Structure 1
Amino acid sequence: MTVVLTKTSPTISLDKHGVTTGLIRVGLNWVAPRLAAEQAAREARGRFRRARAAIRAATTADVDLDLGCMIRCRDGSKTVVQALGNAFGAVDQFPYVALDADDRTGARAAGENLVINLDHQEEFSKLLLFVYIYDGPRDFRGLDAVVTLVSDRGDRFEIHLDECPPGAHACAIALIKRQGNELVVGREVRWFTPQEGRGVQDMISRAYRLGMKWTPGRK
């Protein structure tokens, strides 16, 4: 069964679902506009419609979304896992979070996945899942991006990145943190629009008071 985190039901306790150890996989999938346009071109009927659809497919740009995780530990240490800067992390050593791939077009069936090692959950203070557009459109509208969290046992939690405002270039997806004796996942879906002189990672970090310092980077 899939539990969907929504505005009206935004939080779940991993402990209450029995998800306290092992690995949890955070997956990002979205509709690749170029692939969708190419599919439409193949299915178009009539010479004129096929030609128009083929032109649209040829001129549609790929989209490169990057999934990441800002990590703050109980001892005060902090870091980020993301494709930018080749900061892919590690599962069996600090920061116990790793990114498995960098899907630059949305064509990868498995999408992009972060793996979190819950065997070390006592070391975590906050895990902030986020995503941003590295290359492509101005915002997330029409991408139908969905983030899923799946445990080793098959427990599945889903967050839809909907209601994107025009120009929103990044999204804080969810905040995983300790609440009493439980590890809780809270839906955020908080959108960020780029500002001159400030990267979206810096904006997200400041908004959640994670105290991280950022420098420009490329993949």
Structure 2
Amino acid sequence: MAAEPGPVILTKSSPTVSLDKHGVTSGLIRVNLNWTSPRAAALEQARQARGLLGKVRASLQTAAVRDADLDLGCMIGFADGDTAVVQALGNAFGALDRPPYVHLDGDDRTGGAAAGENLTISLNQQEKFAKLLLFVYIYEGSGDFRGLEAKVTLTSDKGDRFEVHLDDSPPQANACAIALITREKGELVIEREVRWFTPQRGAGIQQVISKTYEFPIEWTPGRK
């Protein structure tokens, strides 16, 4: 039996991939975000601690660790000029059978769920899209992405996998533009961005990202 092909990893030196060249022209693209739970990692270190003093120290350190709540989202620019956003904040979970043709299936609040967070894009409606931006931000918990080992995997219906690793976070970065999906020379292309953002006074992080990538979205305060 032939081994299953590994994922295509988008890197700084090789940041783009054509979905058309992989035969991915219809169906669904599933986007998975997974990260390491800081508390789970601390509990494992405490379990492995040796000696009474080491266990006490590890237990105190674990008690001080806060889990990170990362939120995966997608900004959508349509060919007719309209825009939309899919994210847990504001319960904007989207839909696949009607606009925006993008759906977020849930909200992993800790990084402890094996399935992580999953977002699905319908390529059956791709002619309606001008561009899609996958992004992630820290809703609460960890101060930045360092040590979270966050990874995003895009998987087609027929099993093609494309990975983006969020492994070079600068200090205080609480959001990241992950990848941009656009049409170039008739082909649907995924381009690795991994562009980091830090908090700015007077503006929500989604607003900063949307302005940077020219998504004219009207933002209002939201909660989840």
TM exceeding 0.5: yes
User: What is residue 17 of structure 1 aligned with on the other side?
Assistant: 22
User: What is residue 78 of structure 2 aligned with on the other side?
Assistant: 73
1:65, distance to aligned residue in structure 2 (A): 0.3
Q: 1:98-143 CA deviation, whole Å, 9 max, x = no partner?
A: 0011000000100001101111111100000000000012211111
The TM-score normalised by the length of structure 1 is: 0.98
1:162, distance to aligned residue in structure 2 (A): 2.0
Which of 50, 56, 64 aligns to 1:51? It is: 56
Which of 108, 114, 117 aligns to 1:109? It is: 114
CA distance in 2, matches of 1:27, 1:97: 13
Q: RMSD of aligned C-alpha atoms? A: 0.8
- Is 1:172 aligned with 2:170? no
CA distance in 1, matches of 2:63, 2:96: 40
User: What is residue 197 of structure 2 aligned with on the other side?
Assistant: 192
1:97, distance to aligned residue in structure 2 (A): 0.4
Amino acid at match of 1:49: G
- Is 1:149 aligned with 2:189? no
User: What is residue 162 of structure 1 aligned with on the other side?
Assistant: 167
Q: What secondary structure is seen at the aligned counterpart in 1 of 2:13?
A: coil
Q: What secondary structure is seen at the aligned counterpart in 2 of 1:16?
A: helix
Amino acid at match of 1:156: R
Which of 102, 105, 113 aligns to 1:100? It is: 105
Q: 1:17-63 CA deviation, whole Å, 9 max, x = no partner?
A: 00111111100001100011111111222111111111111111111
Q: What secondary structure is seen at the aligned counterpart in 1 of 2:42?
A: helix
Q: 1:148-192 CA deviation, whole Å, 9 max, x = no partner?
A: 001111100000112211111100000001112100000000001
CA distance in 2, matches of 1:151, 1:50: 45
CA distance in 2, matches of 1:40, 1:167: 24
- Is 1:131 aligned with 2:136? yes
- Is 1:90 aligned with 2:105? no
Q: What secondary structure is seen at the aligned counterpart in 2 of 1:67?
A: strand
Q: What secondary structure is seen at the aligned counterpart in 2 of 1:175?
A: strand
CA distance in 2, matches of 1:95, 1:180: 24
Flag as ranges the 4+ runs of structure 1 deviating above 2 A: none
CA distance in 1, matches of 2:98, 2:19: 22
CA distance in 1, matches of 2:35, 2:154: 15
The TM-score normalised by the length of structure 2 is: 0.96
CA distance in 2, matches of 1:115, 1:175: 15
Q: What secondary structure is seen at the aligned counterpart in 1 of 2:207?
A: helix
Amino acid at match of 1:79: A
Q: What secondary structure is seen at the aligned counterpart in 1 of 2:99?
A: coil
1:77, distance to aligned residue in structure 2 (A): 1.2
Gaps of 5+ in 1: none
CA distance in 1, matches of 2:99, 2:217: 17
Identity of aligned residues (%): 65
CA distance in 1, matches of 2:71, 2:48: 30
